Amino acid sequence: MNREKATILVADDDEDIRLALEMLLVGEAYRVIEASSAKEVVIQTERHKPDLVLLDMNFSRDTTSGQEGLEILNQINNHNIPILLMTAWGSIELAVQGLQQGACDFIEKPWNKGKLLNSIEQQLSFYRVKQEHQAYRELLSAPQLQEPRAGNRGEGWICQSKPMQAIEQWVTQIAPTDANVLILGENGTGKSLLAERIHQLSARRDNPFIVTNMAAIPDNLFESELFGHQKGAFTDAKQQRVGRFQLADAGTLFFDEIGSLPINLQPKLLRVLETGQYEILGSSQTQTANVRLISATNADLSQLVIDGSFRQDLLYRLNTLVITMPPLRSRTDDIEALTLNFIHQFSQKYHKVGLVLTATAIEKLKRHSWPGNIRELSHVIERAVLLASQSEVGEEQLLLDVSGTQESDVKLQSLEQAERQLIDKAMNVSSGNIADAAKILEISRNALYRRLEKFNPDFKSAHDGE
């Protein structure tokens, strides 16, 4: 929600207070409307649908109980508008009661200008995210989108194989709880899709599902990303930022690639998991986290604990429940259904109508070893749909290397040739992602860099600036 378009209802019986707030907020590019009585607050809220309400707790000059404000709060709270309470007669009990009844924050008069503006910005930003999430959920529930449910990268939740049926049974048991879940498995097995499945079956399904890739967060932005920051909290904090824990409030927070979290940052996450409390950067007010945490990794966290690069106490907080996603080679009974789901998805994307999968193509897909798992299958089918010129997707469109099938013999060749082929295949499966390719080959990223430089001298010069 752009600040220039945000409308704020200032509700106070004191004309001087309303004037002072109007001057402050208009100067910050907000649009201001006013209400001087309890009845007018309700009328203005109904009529103008403001983006935020600054609500005084007392509208009778001989009243200091705050009950008037609480009664108005109950009347307008069904509009799903962020409401900030104001009073010159502040008390902890009154603040707690107002927050329990749906208010977003509590401001005492005389107000601190910076604190008031920060609170307004924070609530408007948070409300915008909630609106976007609700719009996304409504889009997904539209009748025209009810055909094969697509998850991350279009990987529909398929559980026809015995390994996946066992996981589905386990998920239906644990999803209704709020226990933390750790998902293990190779790259591309659908760990993020499983996390979303757990959320969809939980009591939090109508609240946000927030995904955070821990490997993509720079160390110096870790606290800001997870906990948020106030404007001016540090040199580059030019705008208010809502953290992931607040975005996921009452919903599910999914930490992907949790094994990549540096050891020096792990205590910061451990604290909020142990106490449920954290602070927004630049604020001294303690926040309470209300999220269900799901984490995922392809790393061996137990070995990382032994190596000293992952805290054991943090692992204990993450692995209340552990689920391991099977590799695609162990769930061949799901390959046909997954493939049909991808054909449906990519046919729509590339405007191909009536594509069907041939029996020989299905057999070839089932014989493949799938080192890149479902992610690799997705890439193969997308390419096949693009190459299909008739109404069929046959084995010739799959372009699968025969050496990648489970039943093939090892072709005799030099070690250098074999190494180069494996590296080329890993880079192809991972779409050129060095980290993913290194994990497939079970070597370090630096070791893969050295081999790429050996086979292609131009690779080093092209990546020297990275």
Q: What is the pLDDT of residues 204-234, one digit of tens each?
A: 999 999 999 998 888 888 998 899 888 777 7
Residue range 73-105, pLDDT digits in tens: 888 877 778 998 887 765 556 767 777 777 888
pLDDT at res. 95: 66
What share of the chain has pLDDT > 90, as a percent?
A: 42
The Cα 62–Cα 300 span in angstroms is 66
- Judged by DSSP in three states, 166 sits in helix
446's tokens: 């630096």
Widest pairwise Cα distance in the chain: 95
State residue 220's pLDDT score: 86
What per-residue confidence (pLDDT) applies to 146?
A: 34
* pTM reported for the whole predicted model: 0.59
Dihedral over Cα of 455, 457, 458, 461: its sign: positive
Which has more confidence, 335 or 417? 335
- DSSP assigned state of 117: H
pLDDT at 328 over 60: yes
Q: Tell me the pLDDT tens digit for each residue of 175-203.
A: 999 999 999 999 999 999 999 999 999 99
CA distances from 20 to 16, 108, 110, 311, 453 (A): 6, 15, 11, 52, 66
User: According to DSSP H, which parts of 9-149 are helical?
Assistant: 15-27, 38-48, 67-76, 92-100, 113-140
What is the 8-class DSSP label of residue 108?
E
Number of CB atoms found within 10 A of residue 91's CB: 14
Q: What are phi and psi of 326, to 5 degrees?
A: -75, 150
Rg (CA), the chain: 27
pLDDT band at 447 (very low <50, low <70, confident <90, very high): confident
Question: pLDDT digit string (tens) for 419-445?
Answer: 887 788 778 766 678 887 787 777 888
Q: Is-contact 373 334, C-beta < 8 A? A: no
Which residues neighbour 280 within 8 Å (Cβ) at sequence distance 6 or greater?
122, 227, 228, 229, 230, 233, 243, 246, 287
On the question of pLDDT at 127 being above 60, the answer is yes
Model pLDDT, residue 147? 35
More confident residue, 103 or 148: 103
What is the residue-averaged pLDDT of the chain?
A: 83
Residue 396 parent element (H or E):
helix 395-398
Distance CA 250, CA 191 (A): 22
% of the chain surpassing 70 pLDDT: 83
CA–CA gap between residue 240 and residue 233 (Å, rounded): 9
* DSSP character string of 256-299: ETGGGS-TTTHHHHHHHHHHSEEE-BT--PEEE---EEEEEESS
Res. 381 pLDDT band, cuts 50 70 90: very high
| Domains observed in the chain | 3-132 (3.40.50.2300), 177-326 (3.40.50.300), 415-463 (1.10.10)
Phi, psi of 293, deg, nearest 5: -100, 130
